[in-house]
Amino acid sequence: MREESRSGCAHWFRDVLDAVPTGIVAGGALRDYFQRRPLESDVDVFFKSMEGLEEGIRSIEAADAEKIYDHSHVRGYLLNHRHIQLIKNHFFDGPEETIDRFDFTVCCAAIDYMGRLAIHPNFFEDLAGRRLEIHNLSNPVSTFARVQKYVEKGFKASHNTLFKIAKAMQEVDLENPSENSLKFYQDATSRR
C-alpha cells in the first residue's frame, strides 16, 4: 500500500480518530473515501474492549458531538456533519481483526488512531470493478439483505457471490431470532 493512501486516509478521518482515539474506523466510510466519493455512509467505529468503548464515549462527548440515538448495540453521534456510529457489540484487537468479520471485500478497510490501515488483498480490485465478492458469511441473512443496498450503489454481485449466499442461507434456522437478524449491528440507525 502506498504511503499516500494510508496518510491521506488518516487525514480524511482525523477529526473522528481524534474524537475517538480508542476506536477503529472501518467499513463503508473508508470505501467511500477510496472511491473518492462524497461520504454516503455513516462512520462506523469499533473498539478493542468495553473499556475502550467507554473511553471513546467520554472522548467523543468531550469533543461536543451531538448524541442522536443510543441503542443496545450502537450509539450514534453527529460530529462536524458526519454521522458517527460507535459499535457496542463487537470488539476487535485491531484493524486486521476488524475487517476479518466483514461480509464483502469492498467493506474490508479499517484504520486506527495510529494510522494503521488494514485492507483486504482484493479490496481495490473489487472496488474498481464495483464487484461484490464474499469475504465472510458469518451472518448470511444480513449479507443477503445488504446485496440490494450495494446494487443500488452500482455494485454487481457475481453468480459465485449469489450462490455462496444462497448456500449459506440454507443453513439458517429462520425460526431462531439469533440466526435471522437482518442487521450486523442490531438496532443500528443508518442514513441509507
Instruction: Evaluate whether residue 146 is within a structural domain.
Output: no
Domain count, the chain: 1
Q: What backbone phi and psi angles, to 5 degrees, belong to 69? A: -165, 160
Taking only the tens place, the pLDDT of each residue in 49-63 is: 999 999 999 999 999
pTM metric for this prediction: 0.86
Domain with 29 in it: 3-121
Instruction: Evaluate whether residue 64 is within a structural domain.
Output: yes
> In b/e form, how buried is each residue of 74-90, taking b as 16+ CB within 10 angstroms?
bbbbebeebbbbbbbee
In this structure, the chain runs to a length of 192
Instruction: Evaluate whether residue 23 is within a structural domain.
Output: yes
Please give the pLDDT value at position 183: 54
The C-alpha cell 443500528 sits at: 188
Copy the grid coordinates of residue 50: 468495553
Distance of alpha carbon 163 from alpha carbon 170, whole angstroms:
11
Instruction: Evaluate whether residue 110 is within a structural domain.
Output: yes
Q: What is the CATH classification number for the domain harbouring 75?
A: 3.30.460.10
Instruction: Evaluate whether residue 38 is within a structural domain.
Output: yes
